[in-house]
A = this chain, B = another copy of it.
Amino acid sequence: MKYVSLVRHLVCTAALFAIAGAGMTAQRGIGVARTPLGDGPWVFDTAEQHKVRAVIVTKGLANPWSLAFLPTGEQLVTERSGKLRIIRNGVLDPQPIAGVPPSKMQRLGGLMDVVLHPRFSDNRLVYLTYSKPGEKDLIATALGRGTWNGSALTNFQELFVVEPWWDGQGGAASRIAFGGDGMLYMTTGASVANMKDAQDPSHHKGKVLRLRDDGTVPPDNPFVGRPGHKPEIYSLGHRNQLGLAIHPQTGAVWSNENGPNGGDEINVILPGRNYGWPDVSLGRSYEGPWQGRFAKEGIEAPLVYWMPSIAVSGMAFYTGDRFPAWRGNVFVGALRFGEIAQTGHLQRVVFNERGEEMRREMLLTELRQRIRDVREGPDGLLYLLTDENPGALLRLEPTP
């Protein structure tokens, strides 16, 4: 008799809390599957690119969240517990990088995104987002930057702190990306206790913010000077945004966010627009009723959505030449695979010339790893972080 073991071991309820985007309930954690990653490499047949190989760069990470490629070839990786790590020539330095601000791994928060300034070669600025610890177990999402001196961050400055502080339950994620206009786009999530904050322009939460590289407000932001509106707001009505990428041709800002029980989305972010959370959603609430209406006048519809949720995470456009059949596709990390077996995969989304979705492909399902982030390397290969502990950096490459 063959034994196909899907559930290698059940994870405890505490770990389940970190599974999806936000606001997981105990109910969601029924019989969750987790599979330890082997040593690889693995070769996968895929639909359009045919054979691709997944190679482990390192397995020594703890819940890695994001990575950035230094022009000198090293990779910077954030760990949600608060450490910034560096991989040199494929070897993970056992010492974390000094000069990183204090952060707190609370609920789904912690140390999150790491992004280089577009003129990094000149100014050596590294940007981080993180949950800043406060009083009475409150946290706030913060943005800061430090200067890379070749081995550490120096002169780290906090640039912006999201109002209000909260207990961290809900949309703790904060991605950042520099747009084609040189501005810094920063996502903030809605809390579970105050979901309506996402619709409230006097709060920063549940928004995409647009900032100058020093954290100040660009004067051409859509709500500048409007009473009752935070001037940093670029768009509103978001839940927990775990992926942010700039379209390589149009410069448009694409963000993805987790729905509750269904309704994960990719949105094209336009100035001053409302994306509907929590009133308009294509998902159900965790308790069963529909979250709200599927659509509403004045609310932007998603470009791509998922039902059931796959707990979308890091997102990247593929622009390289190592996977010719994948050029122009969007890759999205998934923290889930089906609604109950809580392990993830990588998803590929194909668009037509009008930017409309044509089809999707699930990749690396057999590995059953939660994929937290996906990035294209300067070598044209794809790099993936698994949200596990131990967690891995994987490289996807064509077979010879």
Residues of A within 8 A of B (CB): 1-7, 27-28, 30-33, 38, 40-48, 50, 261, 282, 284, 287-290, 293-295, 301, 305-308, 337-341, 351-352, 354, 356-362, 365-366
Q: Which residues of B contact A40 (CB under 8 A)?
A: 2
Contact A301 B305 (CB under 8 A): no
CA of A79 to CA of B354, assembled, Å: 42
Q: Which residues of B contact A3 (CB under 8 A)?
A: 42-43
Q: Given the interface contacts A339-B359, A340-B47, A359-B261, does A352 sit within 8 Å of B288 by beta carbon?
A: yes
Q: Given the interface contacts A7-B47, A288-B357, A294-B295, does A2 sit within 8 Å of B42 by beta carbon?
A: yes
Residue of B4, B307, B352 near A307 (CB, 8 A) is B307
Question: Nearest CB to that of A284 among chain B residues?
Answer: B357
Number of copies: 2
Contact A338 B366 (CB under 8 A): no
CA of A2 to CA of B293, assembled, Å: 47
Secondary structure call for the A interface: loop
Q: Which residues of B contact A366 (CB under 8 A)?
A: 4, 6
Contact A30 B47 (CB under 8 A): yes
Q: Which residues of B contact A44 (CB under 8 A)?
A: 4, 6
Contact B43 A1 (CB under 8 A): yes
Contact A340 B359 (CB under 8 A): yes
Q: Which residues of B contact A5 (CB under 8 A)?
A: 45
Q: Which residues of B contact A288 (CB under 8 A)?
A: 351-352, 354, 356-358
Q: Which residues of B contact A41 (CB under 8 A)?
A: 1-2
- Sample 9 A-B pairs with CB under 8 A, ordered by A number: A2-B43, A7-B45, A282-B307, A288-B356, A294-B295, A306-B307, A339-B359, A339-B361, A340-B361
Counting chain B CB atoms within 10 Å of each CB, the highest count among A30, A290, A354 belongs to A30
Q: Which residues of B contact A6 (CB under 8 A)?
A: 44-46, 366
Question: Nearest CB to that of A367 among chain B residues?
Answer: B4
Q: Which residues of B contact A38 (CB under 8 A)?
A: 2
CA of A21 to CA of B364, assembled, Å: 26
Contact B43 A359 (CB under 8 A): no
Question: Nearest CB to that of A6 among chain B residues?
Answer: B45
Q: Which residues of B contact A47 (CB under 8 A)?
A: 7, 30-33, 340-341
Contact A340 B358 (CB under 8 A): no
Q: Which residues of B contact A357 (CB under 8 A)?
A: 261, 284, 288
Q: Which residues of B contact A43 (CB under 8 A)?
A: 1-4
Tell me the minimal C-beta distance from A57 to chain B in angstroms: 16
Q: Which residues of B contact A4 (CB under 8 A)?
A: 42-45, 366
Q: Which residues of B contact A1 (CB under 8 A)?
A: 41-43
Contact A33 B48 (CB under 8 A): no
Contact A31 B7 (CB under 8 A): no
Given contacts A2-B43, A338-B362, 14 further A-B contacts (CB under 8 A): A1-B42, A2-B40, A3-B42, A6-B44, A6-B366, A27-B359, A30-B47, A31-B50, A288-B351, A289-B354, A289-B356, A306-B308, A338-B365, A365-B365
